[in-house]
Amino acid sequence: MADAVVTGIGAAWQFLNVIMVVKDKVTFETELENLQSILTPIISMLEEIEQLNREANRPREELAPLISKMEEGTQLVSDCSKVRGCLNLCGRYCCKAKLKAFTKSFKNIYSTVMLAQIARDQKDNRRTQMLRDDIQPTSNRDLFLPARKLYIAWVENPDYWRWNSDHPNIGEVAELVKVYFLAVSGWVDTSTLEENTRYEAYLVYSLRNNATGFKNKPVEVFLNVIGHEDQNSKQKVFLEAPATPWTPGETSVTSPLLHGHSVQRDDGWKEVKLGEFLNDQDKELEVGMNHTEGKLKTGIVIRGIQIRPKLQN
């Protein structure tokens, strides 16, 4: 498999070809036609997606689950083509059952891969827009990235998020309806900040009384220096105070990176530290939070991300 485009398109065409050859020669034509109807539109989309991925130097592994599934389907259809004869009822029944089960799993993997591609493309677009907007620090040297400027996965889907402008003097906030995959990112061009100053980044948010998915569930927060991976940081924090006492720096058997939890701000919102950095040269930062553990999350309200000078003790 020499090239990502050839690999993806090759796997899709091989799968489609074996379906076309086999479907008129077996008694489970309906199952194969269902597969064909799913696979045919994938080919043109795969070609476009893989071309974009290659131009953006994205890893080949992103489409690997879909490619592997198509190769599995090619082998399954080929094996089923050997089941012939009116008397081979058991073999025909087994093949129909396997093809139906495969079709269901193939649709699920395809949907998952495509949703991931869409989310990643939206994230790239948001990054470009945010850096172009050139958000400037306030008079007290703080830089605030409001929710509308952030990348929030699926935020434009009203089934998952809604925008609320009822909070006075702070603009729109993003209120979570329900998601399983929670991801928030913001980007900063440090040339707008004071040189040789240590900064901290904080997520500013609140939790509804009926919020779910956060109690005793640490989330991953990160601060990435683009192009300087050795300066990246990744930690686990609590957005909702844990049920048992816990102090920053305490080692956890299940999460050795766990290092803190949120604090209440004077303005009524909560904040949690995402990371810190020394602004010793112009660079691009990505800061944010991921909470991808598989349970449903509801009730968090995202106000924004604040970048501010670190207070000296």
Which CATH number covers residue 192? Answer: 2.60.120.260
- pLDDT for 171: 85
283 vs 305: which has the higher pLDDT: 305
Last residue in a domain, options 64, 91, 121 = 121
pLDDT of res. 56 = 56
Same structural domain, 141 and 243:
yes
Is the pLDDT reported for residue 2 higher than 60? no
Residue 92 lies in a domain: yes
Which position has the token pair 């402008």? 165
Mean pLDDT computed over 221-234: 81
Q: What is the pLDDT of residue 175?
A: 97
Q: Is residue 211 part of a domain?
A: yes
Give how many domains the chain has, as a whole number: 2
Is 70 in the same domain as 160?
Answer: no
Do 250 and 179 share a structural domain? yes
pLDDT at site 281: 80
In this structure, are 160 and 34 located in the same domain?
Answer: no
Arithmetic mean of pLDDT, 201-224: 92
Of the ranges 18-32, 113-127, 133-147, 179-193, which is most confident? 179-193
What is the predicted pLDDT for the residue at 244? 58
**Candidate from 28-42, 111-125, 169-183, 196-210 with smallest mean pLDDT:** 111-125
Instruction: Describe the crossing of helices 64-80 and 29-55 by its angle, rounded to 10 degrees.
Output: 150
| Same-domain pairing of 145 and 115 | no
Of residues 299 and 129, more confidence is placed in: 299
More confident residue, 117 or 186: 186
- Are 290 and 178 within one domain? yes
pLDDT at 55: 56
- Could you give the C-alpha distances from 222 to 17, 201, 272, in angstroms and in order? 45, 10, 11
- Let me know whether 167 and 252 are in one domain: yes
26 in any annotated domain: yes
Please give the residue that has the higher pLDDT: either 29 or 77: 77
Evaluate if residue 254 carries a pLDDT over 60. no
- 167-176, pLDDT tens digit by residue? 777 889 999 9
Q: Which of 121, 148, 174 is the last residue of a domain?
A: 121
Give the mean model confidence (pLDDT) for residues 224-232. 76
Decide if 128 is inside a domain.
no
Judged against a pLDDT cut of 90, whether residue 304 lies above it is answered with yes
Distances (CA, A) of 251 to 72, 161, 168, 247, 255: 43, 34, 40, 9, 8
pTM, to two decimals: 0.65
Compare 254 and 47 and report the one with higher pLDDT: 47
Residue 86, pLDDT score: 58
Q: What is the pLDDT of residues 6-64, one digit of tens each?
A: 468 888 899 999 998 888 776 777 888 889 988 888 887 777 777 666 655 666 666 78
Does the pLDDT of residue 293 top 70, yes or no? yes
Long-range contacts of 38-41 (CB under 8 A, 24+ apart): 38/103, 38/106, 38/107, 38/110, 39/12, 39/15, 39/70, 40/16
Share of the chain above pLDDT 70, in %: 81
Q: Domain for residue 131, yes or no?
A: no
Residue 179 and residue 208 share a domain:
yes
Answer with the one of 121, 145, 175 that is the final residue of a domain. 121
β-strands 161-164, 233-238 pairing: unpaired
Q: Determine the Cα–Cα distance for residues 277 and 225; give it in Å rounded to an integer.
A: 9
Instruction: Indicate if the pLDDT at residue 146 is higher than 90.
Output: yes
Give residue 251's pLDDT.
Answer: 38
pLDDT at 186 over 80: yes
Asked whether residue 17 falls in the same domain as residue 146, the answer is no
In a domain, residue 126? The reply is no
Place of tokens 């500013």: 204
| Average pLDDT of span 265-285 | 90
Domain that holds residue 161: 137-309
Q: Are 162 and 283 in contact (CB under 8 A)?
A: no
Residue with tokens 């090619």: 74
Least confident range of 109-118, 150-159, 167-176: 109-118
86-95 pLDDT, tens digit each:
556 788 888 8
108 with 28, same domain? yes
pLDDT at 216: 83
Residue 274 has pLDDT above 70, yes or no: yes
CA distance 120 to 186: 14
Same domain, residue pair 301 and 158:
yes
In this structure, the answer to whether residues 117 and 141 fall within a common structural domain is: no
